[in-house]
Amino acid sequence: MGPVIELDRLVVRLGGRTILDGLSGALAGRAIGLLGPNGAGKSTLINTLLGFHPAAAGAVRVFGADAVFEGLPHQLHMVSTDLVSRTRQVHRRGLLIDAALASVRLPVLFAPLAQEDGRLLVDGGVLDNLPTDLLVERDEGPVVAVTIGAGGDGPHRPGRPRVPGLGDTLMRTMMIGSGGAADAARTRGAWVVGPSSMGVGLLEFHQLDRMVQSGREAARALLEQASGDLRPAPGTAEEPDVPDEAA
């Protein structure tokens, strides 16, 4: 078993004071204890491991995963929307947990994430549901964009439709204006695949297995129709006709 926690010359400063200064080490085992006198920095270290305190220098990894963008082996960008400037915000530096918390805050369901610099951040899908332009900036291999509908897909049924819940209504509203997102992704050189939502609503987590199966079937269809080779960009080779839903 590899190290559970790795510290590489970690420096953490709070309120202008250096709390952790050049801390290095590797901790392994099923149970790890942290002992020390008051003021030694135990709580600061734990909060840094959880992502609540940024490192001024050095790096910290938990189960091999870095807590900051800069330490990741491959590029990762997350997107949110600033309600104040009404612009897309791209997160590519700093703490991963801060970016993740901003990127998943669906309006109405979750309050905006207030920032010290005056921004109010919500889910990036408000402005851009498929930000593939961020992934094709650097050539790291094929880009596969996955678009997922929020219920309601499939053949139209006669009669009065089922009224969706608040979460589904919000998601469908956000997706109405993004019908061209899949075409834009293909233009940028990404493959696009759209698993059927199987009528599963946004918050119906008890039907997760159905969505997993739908995703696997869509992935198999893409690989089969591409003959297992996704290296040619969609613009340079005939792209498989895998149906996609609203992005």
Tell me the two tokens of residue 83. Answer: 């309600």
**Token reading at 155:** 């053949």
Distance CA 79, CA 99 (A): 8
Torsion angle, alpha carbons of 102, 106, 111, 114, to 10: 20
179-to-4, 89, 231, 247 alpha-carbon distances in Å: 44, 21, 26, 6
Predicted local confidence at residue 236, as pLDDT: 46
The pLDDT-based confidence of 45 (bands split at 50, 70, 90) is confident
- What does the mean pLDDT of the chain come to? 79
Greater pLDDT, 149 or 112:
112
| pTM assigned to the model | 0.60
- Token pair of 139 as six digits: 């050539």
More confident residue, 230 or 216: 216
Taking the C-alpha atoms of residue 102 and residue 99, their distance in angstroms, rounded to an integer, is 5
Q: How confident is the model at residue 174 (pLDDT cuts 50, 70, 90)?
A: low
Tell me the C-alpha distance between 69 and 19, whole Å: 22
- Ranking 4-18, 22-36, 41-55, 163-177 by mean pLDDT, the lowest is 163-177
* Most confident range, picked from 65-69, 147-151, 178-182, 196-200: 196-200
Q: Collapsing DSSP states into helix, strand and coil, what is residue 187?
A: helix
Report, in this order, helix, strand and coil percent for the chain, each rounded to 5. Answer: 25, 20, 55
For residues 143 and 18, give the distance between their C-alpha atoms in angstroms, rounded to a whole number.
42
Distance of CA 126 to the CA centre of its chain: 14
Least-confidence region, from 7-16, 170-179, 224-233: 170-179
* Residue 41 tokens, joined: 């920095």
172, amino acid identity: R
Q: Is the dihedral of CA 54, 57, 59, 60 positive or negative?
A: negative
Write the DSSP symbol of residue 138.
S
pLDDT (tens digit per residue) in 52-109? 777 788 877 776 666 678 777 777 889 999 999 999 999 988 878 788 888 888 887 7
